[in-house]
Amino acid sequence: MSVKITCLTLALVSSMTVAAFAQSSPQTTNPANGAKTAPQQSVPSSKLNLNTATQDELRKLPSLNSGNAATIIEARKKSRFKDWNDFTGRRLVPPFTEKEIKNLVTF
């Protein structure tokens, strides 16, 4: 009987430990000094205005390369983008890129 209680206790403690590790937030460590740093984000924290963004800022958007960024800049020199429909109607970037940046941009 005592072996069963010991096994059950170990199983319970093990499952609680696994759950605790699964809930911890991801952090990266700097191998040089062991200091913890915040995970890097590839998505901008606020929406990017396509009428005013620099080429470097545009390049930070997902699936946007330097050629797409230059095309956007040249197109807005001719006339500013009015809204999303105006931007997509000009067919400046591929459809898959449009889908990826739609919620990340403003005008």
Domain residue extents for the chain: 48-106
102: which 2 tokens? 């739609």
Instruction: Answer for the pair 60, 104: CB distance below 8 angstroms, yes or no.
Output: no
For 20, phi and psi rounded to 5 degrees? -65, -40
69: which 2 tokens? 């960024």
| pTM listed for this prediction | 0.58
Q: In tens digits, what is the pLDDT along the chain, a chain of 107 residues?
A: 666 665 555 555 555 554 444 454 455 555 555 555 444 445 456 999 999 999 999 999 999 999 999 999 999 999 999 999 999 999 999 999 999 999 999 99
Long-range contacts: 16-19, Cβ < 8 Å, 24+?
none
